[in-house]
Structure 1
Amino acid sequence: MKRIALLLLFILGAYVAEAQEYYQPLKSYRAIAMGNTGVASANDAYSLSYNPAVLANVQGWWLDLGAWTVEASDGLGVLDVVPNLVSVQYPYLNETGLAESSRASFLNQTSPHMRANAGLNFAANITKKGIGVGANYLREIVIQGLNDNAELFQRSDRITQGGISIPLFSGQIVLGLGARRIERRDATSDAAVGVPTFGTSETGQAGDLGLIWRTGGATRMTVGLVAQNIGGLDLGTTLDAEPQEVHFGVSMDLELGLLKLIPAIDLRGIQTTRTRTNRVHAGVEFGLFPNSTGGSLLSLRAGSNEGYATAGAELNFFNRSLILGGARYYEELGDGTTKAQSPLRQLIYFSAGF
């Protein structure tokens, strides 16, 4: 009980922590709803985006033959989102960017933002002691107005990542190894002139090294540490190369009959070349009717994304064969010395497979 009280106290404290966030590719819809935590708590198809060692948290196995995330900031409607993010060809993601006909209405919003990704996911538990494997192949596009909409920014990524978790010392400690490849195109233009045109793509690779320490007992506490993009993920002349960063996290996994409770807290950027350091994320998941793949039929989530409230819900049918989820959150748009809250962002997620 002391461990539970301490972790919940940290989570409450995170609601008043200063926020210094930056754009992270391939964020998990589950993690976003939980304050964008995941270093110790991730257990879904996007675990590799947070720590390869948490593949040990995966239960069972699943393959998403199709997975889609679509999100937009407050004020952008279906007629803004669908024509610019959705394609009629598989994987149904429009990678050409913002249409010129949508530029005026998009820039008429405060700090406008749209993001979508689509592709394939795989995760599997090999042994109960913690051998797990996972892989993602997803395409993602982001469109944003910057500097009070004086500039228009677009980014198109093709992300491939894979990893394995390896138990040590009877599974109490787990080592995680991950690799990531990003093929990126990005462009920025004067928003008053027109939509920026994508140039040639740049490709970079980097590896992740993660650790988790797991306790037994009723609380099932997990402590995680990860070095992401070791040596830096160099993307040539593109604007947003991914630097090496070290993150720390703590979570618990409590099963109370038909109820599952997962509180989590992350401290991001404890080592980073960015100006945004020691970023605090915290959240909790309440699951009803847990299933054999680590999820629940119904999950409700809430959190603090560096001081900004997050929330979400999920319906998980047939052990992740069909998932419908959503989240609401705010992002930090400050430069590391000042705070600037984004408008409300809302996302929906859908995946189908077996």
Structure 2
Amino acid sequence: MRKFLLAQAIGIALALPLSAQQAADSVKNINIKKGKLTLEGYVDAYYSYAISHPVDANHAYFVSYNRDNEININLAYISLKYNSDRIRATFTPGYGTYMNANYASERQTLQNLLEANVGVKIFAKKDIWLDAGVISSPYTNETAYSFDQINYTRSLASENVPYYLTGAKLTVPFGKWTAYLYVLNGWQVIQAQHDPLDFGSQLEFKPNGNWDINWNTYIGDERSAANPGYETRWFTDGYATYTPSDKWSFSADAYIGWQRRMETGGLNTRQWWNANLCARYTFAPGSSFSGRVEYFHDPYQVLLTPVTNTYGFKLGSASLGYNLAVTDDVLFRLEGRYFGSPSQLYPMRDGTTANKDLWLTAGITARFR
């Protein structure tokens, strides 16, 4: 018996180097594609002045370019991105007045997460991806990043939908169409405010290089410590961008939402909506004019609570801007923006209120790629 066990031990010992060599040869034959790690950066410095000149130096109803009469940073970030044939990941910590205003309700360690997500390509031969984490929002025709936007400042539409989402996103392309399905923690939150998960979708159609057409939806329970009476929210958003030539670019957005909430008289469903149109005309190499007209209608103050509530929140705006491309990665922008409302929405520095305001905003934006 001892001789048998000794013979077996010797056989195993002799076989181990051969097995290790075979395993190494097998690994060599596997086509392993290494990923690529890239570093990107972005800085958006601005100065903005409002005729209302608010006492607290915060422009009312905005999280972007919201500091008055001071030179500041709206958004700055350094982004690490990893891409391989089956894995992708993004880690983007952000800083600036936009982050201070828009992430104030998040936990301290989450307040600087502009993006943080990882994705996997589910099938080797199909471009279907599943991403999870803090991801960018599909809603409206504008994002928090001003560089590629027609106008410098953000619209009322984009300021009142999620700029970021937390959850999982499934991307399924088919021809000129791409479908995105979302399972979410809520309406622009990282940490969930309620138990049921929420849902969103995006359907994107690119018939050619000139058009990009999108339809988005959202449904979820909006109960939270801040709004305990809020229940189901339904939201649908449609936008399109059109670039017919090197000189002209257009973008338009319209959305409508419904919020069920408990009020003094019982459970009611309240509605709000938005519409805007943006255009840019390039009149010389690197120089262009841009403009926007918009209207935001929230009479039952679902999203915004004005100074007075005689008419609820109803606000129109028009802007005109000049854009100068110093280089391909540096922009100087100047914009004037007028706001008008039937309500006294704006607290003035002298203690009175006004139904109109005017912004003058200038900025330099640079990206590093």
Which bracket does the TM-score occupy, shorter chain normalised?
Answer: 0.3 to 0.5
Query: How high is the TM-score relative to the length of structure 1?
Result: 0.44
Query: How high is the TM-score relative to the length of structure 2?
Result: 0.42
Structure showing greater radius of gyration is 2
